[in-house]
Amino acid sequence: MIQHLISSRVSLAPMAGITDYVLRSLVRENSQSALLTTEMISSEFLTQCKGGDIIERAENHSPISYQLSGHKPRMIADCAKYLEQYADMIDINMGCPVNKVVKGTDGCALMRNPDLAQDIVRTVKANISIPLSVKFRLGYTFDELNFVEFGQKMQEAGADFITIHGRTRSQMYGGKADWKMISKLKHNVDIPVFANGDVVSIETAVECLEQSEADGVAVGRGALGDITLIGRIEKYLNQGVYLPPPTLDEKIITLKEHLKREVELRGEKVGVKFCRKFYPYYLNGFQGASRLRGEIVLIDNLSDVLAKIDGILVK
């Protein structure tokens, strides 16, 4: 069953507050088989509020994995069971480096408590009938590079699939992802491994696969501003066909669509505000880009934002 879900060698990595319904839909329109992953869903939140935009999905989002965070095995298992009606796979977040997450002993903090991490995986696995994956990092710090042993423990506990980010928690998102290091994990587990970190183009995807020897790559920030990237990587890996990155005009057209869909989902004020985080990814690489972003980030009216963006297309 897991092989069907990862028939593509590319997946959309989970990003909190980023990989929402709209972004997943845009990626899916450019890739029919990549595994999509939701943004991180707190098991504490889901226990209190079952429902909402964060768990919505479209029929064509399959294959899709729902990512849960937390440190209470029974609670996470109950949430996983609830999400089974939506998900093709459940993913447990054991790699988030953000302070407020690790201070709550969630995310990458679990790499310092492998016994609890195993208990979480065992408990969830016993309560669901769909595949289970775990996402983690190389370690908490460079002095705690326990990713090989940690991955083995996750496999022993019942994990069917691993995604590993090639940085430590202490690096956050700085420095470079160590793809070569990931190969050590790949050689010491029997379940599929996807490599994550710094995959921002077809070229870096190929290099990551070569160095990590992983079964596939998980694309995170590289897909921001370029929702075609995952599909283009697939096309190259499967058919040897190289499709170029989107032009500025194409990126602007996608941004406009992204804005419209977020407004439809969230309402005008919230939708426009939500999209501000994406402006630096869509609007870059041309003269006056910084000035333009500074102007539209202050606008909360959709028609005015679209008019401002259209001004680039007619120049």
Q: What is the pLDDT of residue 51?
A: 72
Instruction: Give how many domains the chain has, as a whole number.
Output: 2
CATH number at residue 161: 3.20.20.70
The CA distance from 134 to 107, in Å, is 11
Over residues 92-120, mean pLDDT = 97
Are 268 and 229 found together in one domain? no
Angle between helices 248-266 and 21-28 (to 10 degrees): 140
Q: What is the pLDDT of residue 50?
A: 78
Are 145 and 275 found together in one domain? no
| pLDDT band per the 50, 70, 90 thresholds, residue 312 | confident
Instruction: Round the average pLDDT of the chain to a whole number and report it.
Output: 96
Out of 239, 272, 299, pick the residue that ends a domain: 239
DSSP letters of 22-66?
A: HHHHHHHTT-SSSBEEPPPEEHHHHHH---SGGG---GGG-SEEE
Tell me the sheet residues that pair with 161.
Answer: 133
With 90 as the cut, is the pLDDT of residue 207 above it?
yes
- Is 275 a known active-site residue? no
Are 41 and 176 found together in one domain? yes
Domain residues for the domain of 193 are 2-239
Q: What is the pLDDT of residue 313?
A: 74
Are 193 and 212 found together in one domain? yes
The catalytic position among 96, 108, 208, 275 is 96
Please tell me the pTM assigned to this model.
Answer: 0.96
The CA distance from 161 to 157, in Å, is 12
Are 196 and 278 found together in one domain? no
Q: What is the pLDDT of residue 33?
A: 96
Strands 193-196 and 89-94: unpaired
The CA distance from 293 to 308, in Å, is 10
Are 147 and 206 found together in one domain? yes
The CA distance from 280 to 219, in Å, is 18
Of the listed ranges 25-34, 253-262, 306-315, the one predicted with least confidence? 306-315
Are 302 and 190 found together in one domain? no
Q: What is the pLDDT of residue 49?
A: 86
Percent of the chain with pLDDT over 90: 94
User: How many Cβ atoms are within 10 Å of 242's Cβ, its own excluded?
Assistant: 10
Give the three-state DSSP class for 137.
strand
Out of 195, 216, 239, pick the residue that ends a domain: 239
With 80 as the cut, is the pLDDT of residue 254 above it?
yes
| pLDDT band per the 50, 70, 90 thresholds, residue 154 | very high
Give the three-state DSSP class for 143.
coil
